Structure 1
Amino acid sequence: MLAMNKYKVLGITAVTIAATILATSCKDNKSTGWEYAPNMYEHIAYDPDQKNPNFKDGKTAQVPPAGTIPLGFTRFDYPNTKDGYLQAGLEVKNPIAQNKANFDEGKVLFEHYCSPCHGVTGQGDGLVVQHGFPAPPSYSKGQSSRGGAMKELTDGKIYHTITYGVNSMGSYASQLAPEERWKVITYVHHLQNL
């Protein structure tokens, strides 16, 4: 008798659970069921292109306050002019350590970004030149278009040129981070002595 009551209670419990699952699963066809961390896709933050009542101009995407510097950004306060180039040449020095690791990484970066025009040895005989484009001057024998021998270019002058570009060479500021530019400069100084 006791065993029969157990089976009856278990049966009623199973039917109740099944009926509850059936009733709750059919109530909303669009529902995916229980939500785990719904704020992952139903966020309360404003999208950058949405209107935002929290700001006077009503825009969510705001310009950073004047004088602020983005995290990880390195300032280079020399204008893209010949005077800025000359001033950078006098004042800017390579801040990274002159060691084998930086030299080797500078070589790899130079070969990837610079050698198509400047050539692997910096003689201005890269693949681009072989396809009919004007040759850049040789680092060891050529003359700079801004005056002076290429072999006498200082850290600041090379950094300024990589950052802003000159003549046919465009800016590499978006391709090479500041520290990578310094590593390339370490390798370029080696090419100036070839």
Structure 2
Amino acid sequence: MLAMNKFKILGATVITIAASVVITSCGHDKRSTGWEYAPNMYEHIAYDPDQKNPNFKDGKTAQLPPAGTTPVGFVRFDYPNTKVGYEAASLEVKSPLTAADTAGAQVLFVHYCSPCHGTKGQGDGLVVQHGYPAPPSYSKGQSSRGGAMKDLTDGKIYHTITYGLNAMGSYASQLNPQERWKVVMYIHHLQTL
């Protein structure tokens, strides 16, 4: 008899808990997510990069690194963004990659360069079709700094990708040095077409 009472009490407890769960889960605001277990996971106290930040004089959260520092994983390119630096890079800078290291070069070129230069490097990308000036063809065009585009050296191409030239902006923040070298190698392939 005592065991039977225990089962009745246990059964009544289970039914009460199940009924209370069903009742409390229905009929409330359907947009409510319920209790917040760890609200700091989505209501963080850190500033987003595009938010104003009173901790800095200029009010920006996204700050440039201090002058003369090199981000982790990046290699310094000690040629200034000048015509002299461009010419010096042309003479002194050579690609550290071999033909075996260029896996993915075409994909990088298509993603970052083809919107302007076109998939074959002929200066016929999508932005040209929307009225922007066409960049010169890698195989037939003339460089704005003099000479044929097909004769551009490793250093000149790498310098241009790093700093940008004319309407082309810098890709140093989008492509790490090894990816830039892969693009250089692929441009050399396009110069022969």
Distance 1:170 1:179 in 2: 19
Hey, what does 2:183 align to over in structure 1? 184
1:91 equivalenced with 2:97 (yes/no): no
Kindly state the Cα deviation for residue 73 of structure 1 after the two structures are TM-superposed: 1.9
Query: Cα 1:76–1:131, aligned 2, differ >3 Å: closer, same or farther?
Result: same
Distance 2:108 2:81 in 1: 23
Matched positions, count? 179
Secondary structure of the structure 2 residue equivalent to 1:123: coil
Distance 1:176 1:166 in 2: 16
Distance 1:113 1:121 in 2: 13
1:132 equivalenced with 2:131 (yes/no): yes
Kindly state the Cα deviation for residue 98 of structure 1 after the two structures are TM-superposed: 1.8
Distance 1:126 1:70 in 2: 32
1:71 equivalenced with 2:72 (yes/no): yes
Matching residue's letter, 1:165: G
Distance 2:126 2:93 in 1: 31
Hey, what does 1:35 align to over in structure 2? none
Secondary structure of the structure 1 residue equivalent to 2:188: helix
Hey, what does 1:174 align to over in structure 2? 173
Q: After superposition, what is the alpha-carbon deviation per residue over 1:121-174, rounded to whole angstroms, capped at 9, x for unaligned?
A: 000000000111000000000000000000000000000000000000000111
Q: After superposition, what is the alpha-carbon deviation per residue over 1:3-31, rounded to whole angstroms, capped at 9, x for unaligned?
A: xxxxxxxxxxxxxxxxxxxxxxxxxxxxx
Query: Unpaired segments of 5 or more residues in structure 2?
Result: 1-45, 47-65
Kindly state the Cα deviation for residue 68 of structure 1 after the two structures are TM-superposed: 5.6
Hey, what does 2:34 align to over in structure 1? none
Kindly state the Cα deviation for residue 70 of structure 1 after the two structures are TM-superposed: 3.7
Kindly state the Cα deviation for residue 80 of structure 1 after the two structures are TM-superposed: 0.4
Hey, what does 2:157 align to over in structure 1? 158
Distance 2:122 2:71 in 1: 37
Matching residue's letter, 1:74: V
Q: Is the 8 A contact 2:74 2:176 kept in 1?
A: no
Q: Is the 8 A contact 2:139 2:192 kept in 1?
A: yes
Distance 1:68 1:142 in 2: 37
Identity among equivalent positions (%) equals 74
Hey, what does 1:145 align to over in structure 2? 144
Distance 1:164 1:78 in 2: 10
Query: Cα 1:68–1:142, aligned 2, differ >3 Å: closer, same or farther?
Result: closer
Listed as ranges, the matches of 1:83-122 within 5 Å are 83-99=84-100, 102=102, 104-122=103-121
Query: Cα 1:124–1:73, aligned 2, differ >3 Å: closer, same or farther?
Result: same
Query: Unpaired segments of 5 or more residues in structure 1?
Result: 1-46, 48-65
Matching residue's letter, 1:71: V
Higher gyration radius (CA): 1
Matching residue's letter, 2:111: H
Hey, what does 1:7 align to over in structure 2? none
Query: Cα 1:183–1:132, aligned 2, differ >3 Å: closer, same or farther?
Result: same
